[in-house]
Structure 1
Amino acid sequence: MHTAVGLIVEYNPFHNGHLWHLTEAKRIAGAEFAIAIMSGNFLQRGEPAIVDKWSRAAMAVTAGVDLVIELPTVFAVRSAQYFATGGIQLLSRLGMVSHICFGAESADLAALTAAARALSASTTGSTIRQKMKTGRTYAASLALTLAETTGIDPGVIHSPNNILAIEYLRAIFTCAPQLIPLVIERCAANYHDTVITSTIASATAIRAAIAQNSLLLPDSSAWQSLPAATAAQINALIATGRAPVTFDAFSNIVLAKLRTMQLNELAALPDVTEGLHNKISDSARKASTLQELLSFIKSKRYPLTRLQRMMIHALLGTTKTTLAGFDQAGPLYARILAFNQNGRRLLRVIDRYSTVPVITKTARFLTSKQQQNNELTRLQDMLAYDIKATDIYVLGQPNCQWRAGGQDYQTSPHYLAN
């Protein structure tokens, strides 16, 4: 069987740091191939991707990823624990991935593993919840709890990539013990950097440059922080009005949705607790923009990313009950977004060993007529949320000619022939 290293990614967009991580992952894993499990059109931080999922997958394959598979939306737009678990489960269910490689601010796998095991202890969850009741965020409560119980430096926990790394390890313990974890230390840029200072920059800073809605110039710092092919692809999307897609473009849609939801519907949204639905309802009527709405609701208890995920769940119609059912089932399909010649070889192997079906044509598993009724299988229901996510996402594209629905039925995976 071929050896493949798995990557759980967002590639928003694919930049030089991702290219370095890809190269290192294959090297230290000794793997022939790389398979990326990638978020679709909405991301873990509760934001729309700056360019669509097929374009981001094509950028990744052009840069050397062999196969890009979509992480279902119901796992992609989630907190670190569920995002990581969904990605690990999907990699495991492909039946032929040997390693999982992820980036972190701390490359100390022993420390991250100790933190993961401590977090999985039966009493840790209740301790974290008690600390959150004092107004601390989940990340701060987690860091303090682990510092108290294991002596782990709180700084190891506070960065988003370290938190994800710990959750990947927890998921491996419970869902995929056959996967060998590998960690690579992030280099050059910090996660939240907003300025590009070298050829390896944060995705945050790169998105800020792209969001100016002007073409990237070859001598600009943004262009230099991207593989040349990626920069050219982004320019083509900007030129045709398919990018950039920003959260502000959904301002009126989000406000309209929240203003028409009943209080019980708001209370059913994932992550909404402790009467927050009342505050969301009141704030949605007072706010005139999405950013103003978020500023009204944001607090230490409810950081921005958590609130943004609530907004996406409101648009998609997902509820606590819905997600609980999907979490119990795990990802039920491997939906292909892009592949190269090596990826084509991998697909033949995956067809033999995968415990979930491979989807290259959506209509073979779900038709638009089926989507409109309420008698869907669990797989079809999960897939329907991916389709709904795209139908909403395209409304944020700058040029209205690209906003028609049903693109998941019409778009084939991107194939790179050479």
Structure 2
Amino acid sequence: MNVVGMIVEYNPFHNGHLWHLTEAKRIASAQFAIGVMSGHFLQRGEPSILDKWSRANMAVQAGVDLVIELPTVFSVRSAQYFATGGIQLLARLGIVSHVCFGTETPDLAGLISVAHALNKKNVIRIMRENMKTGQTYAASLAAALALTTDAASLAQTPNNLLAIEYLRAIETYAPSLQPLPIQRLSANYHDTGINASIASATAVRTTLLKDGILIPGSPAWKAVPPGSAKQINDLVLLGKAPVTLTALSDIILAKIRTMNINEIAALPEVNEGLHNKISAAALQATTAQQLLFQIKSKRYTLTRLQRIIIYALLGITKEKLSAFDQTGPLYIRILAFNDNGRKLLKEIRKQALVPVITKTSQFLTSKQRQHKNLSTLQEMLAYDIAATDIYMLGSPNHQWKAGGQDYHISPQYV
């Protein structure tokens, strides 16, 4: 059977995602679709606007058969590690035949040529030299690739960059997976306006935060499937959403203010004296946004800095990530499924290279979390649990701020 996998965030699920899902199943001739989805913290270093179970539920309502959580230690990473974690997890399911991803340019041959070039020593060397001068990763990559391939321009947009990293990961970890690029429709990744039925997730979030809800009949309402629109508004009215970086400001500042210089220096993506700047800025800033803009520069993009403060918030260190990168994802954690997903799970349990988790306490109890002698799997899972516990503190209504939700909420059967 053909099973198409997708690495997603669904923040929130909108019509562009629905189109991508439909096209993925069509061009893969797939009977089933699986989404590997980020949990409560995302690749751009911010909390998801809705909780992970609600986002997974929306996806399954729209036709995804099974949604699996991408462990936090990969979901909050830069493109290379985010993509690698997602591809490794899809491969370890043992049943996925195709992987489909959105791009600005569906030139598979060109994207593959860039992915190959990225593994060349001279390209890596030039990239590192350019980044030392303050160029961003994307600009450094494009400049280095210009010397080795005619397709360098493909690496200058967010989704193409991710696509290239997916292809690199497929070549290294999952050569049996067939890549399927799909060109994005209408809206660009960073668009904040809504002028059609397909809009960017950024635009939907921006409108939701501005208006308070998705106003029935408005462009934002029409940009998401009806079931998703209703569920988003229900969550807002209950005070479960939206969760934002601003809502976590005090916790972030408290965490960084109580870290010493060496602890800040041990955070991933911190180098060249940035730890001193972060420490000083945390004492002056009164919000997470002020902190970010005080330390932002040409060398340190806002996205990178957002990831760094999330690493600090969750207690993620360079040393820990290095260990997790050696193993890749160590479990298959189920968030939501339908009847087809139930069938897939039956096959996954037979074929998978790592265990399936439907009940958290069977792999890590709350008591075990208090001890240091955890296995690598348990340490990885502990970050997911901690991410949820902290995320809940950003809920607008105090009623929903309690921790331990990973132990109480079961996978959603839709």
Q: TM-score, normalised by structure 2?
A: 0.99
Question: What's the counterpart of residue 195 of structure 2?
Answer: 197
CA contact (8 A) 2:108 2:181 kept: yes
CA contact (8 A) 2:114 2:152 kept: no
Question: What's the counterpart of residue 34 of structure 1?
Answer: 33
Question: What's the counterpart of residue 136 of structure 2?
Answer: 137
Alignment of 1:119 with 2:123, yes or no, is no
Cα displacement (A) at 1:286: 1.2
Question: What's the counterpart of residue 262 of structure 1?
Answer: 260
Match of 1:328, as an amino acid? Q
Question: What's the counterpart of residue 22 of structure 1?
Answer: 21
Structure 1 CA distance for aligned equivalents of residues 41 and 233 of structure 2: 21
Structure 2 CA distance for aligned equivalents of residues 241 and 327 of structure 1: 37
Question: What's the counterpart of residue 58 of structure 1?
Answer: 57
Cα displacement (A) at 1:125: 1.7
Cα displacement (A) at 1:213: 5.9
Question: What's the counterpart of residue 320 of structure 1?
Answer: 318
Alignment of 1:100 with 2:103, yes or no, is no
Cα displacement (A) at 1:133: 1.0
Structure 1 CA distance for aligned equivalents of residues 188 and 106 of structure 2: 14
- Provide the aligned length of Structure 1 versus Structure 2: 414
Q: Secondary structure at the match of 2:347?
A: helix
CA contact (8 A) 1:42 1:76 kept: yes
Question: What's the counterpart of residue 302 of structure 2?
Answer: 304
Q: Secondary structure at the match of 2:367?
A: helix
Question: What's the counterpart of residue 225 of structure 1?
Answer: 223
Structure 1 CA distance for aligned equivalents of residues 67 and 274 of structure 2: 37
Match of 1:114, as an amino acid? S
Deviation per CA, 1:250-306, whole angstroms, max 9, x where unpaired?
111111111110000000000001010000001111111111111111111110110
Question: What's the counterpart of residue 70 of structure 1?
Answer: 69
Structure 1 CA distance for aligned equivalents of residues 152 and 266 of structure 2: 36
Q: Secondary structure at the match of 2:147?
A: helix
Q: Which residue, out of 239, 242, 245, partners 1:241? A: 239
Match of 1:21, as an amino acid? H
Deviation per CA, 1:334-389, whole angstroms, max 9, x where unpaired?
00000000000000000000000000000010000001110111101100000000
CA contact (8 A) 2:187 2:198 kept: yes
CA contact (8 A) 1:5 1:101 kept: yes
Deviation per CA, 1:141-177, whole angstroms, max 9, x where unpaired?
00111112212242x2111100000000000010000
Q: Secondary structure at the match of 1:211?
A: helix
Question: What's the counterpart of residue 291 of structure 2?
Answer: 293
Structure 1 CA distance for aligned equivalents of residues 359 and 123 of structure 2: 43
Cα displacement (A) at 1:120: 1.3
Structure 2 CA distance for aligned equivalents of residues 168 and 100 of structure 1: 9
Question: What's the counterpart of residue 385 of structure 2?
Answer: 387
Deviation per CA, 1:285-330, whole angstroms, max 9, x where unpaired?
1111111111111111110110000011001111000000000000
Question: What's the counterpart of residue 277 of structure 2?
Answer: 279
Deviation per CA, 1:211-265, whole angstroms, max 9, x where unpaired?
2362322211110000000000001100100001111101111111111100000
> Equivalences for 1:342-353 in 2 at 5 Å?
342-353=340-351
Aligned-residue Cα RMSD (Å) equals 0.8
Q: Secondary structure at the match of 1:13?
A: coil
Structure 1 gaps of 5+ residues are none
CA contact (8 A) 1:194 1:205 kept: yes
Q: Secondary structure at the match of 1:46?
A: coil
Cα displacement (A) at 1:196: 0.6
Match of 2:288, as an amino acid? L
Cα displacement (A) at 1:122: 2.6
User: 286-295 or 119-128, which moves further after superposition?
Assistant: 119-128
CA contact (8 A) 1:213 1:244 kept: no
Match of 2:165, as an amino acid? E
Structure 1 CA distance for aligned equivalents of residues 211 and 366 of structure 2: 33
Structure 1 CA distance for aligned equivalents of residues 123 and 341 of structure 2: 41
Structure 2 CA distance for aligned equivalents of residues 255 and 309 of structure 1: 14
Identity rate, percent: 65
Q: Secondary structure at the match of 1:70?
A: strand
Question: What's the counterpart of residue 12 of structure 1?
Answer: 11
Structure 2 CA distance for aligned equivalents of residues 215 and 310 of structure 1: 30
Match of 2:7, as an amino acid? I
CA contact (8 A) 2:44 2:303 kept: yes
CA contact (8 A) 1:339 1:413 kept: yes
Question: What's the counterpart of residue 170 of structure 2?
Answer: 172
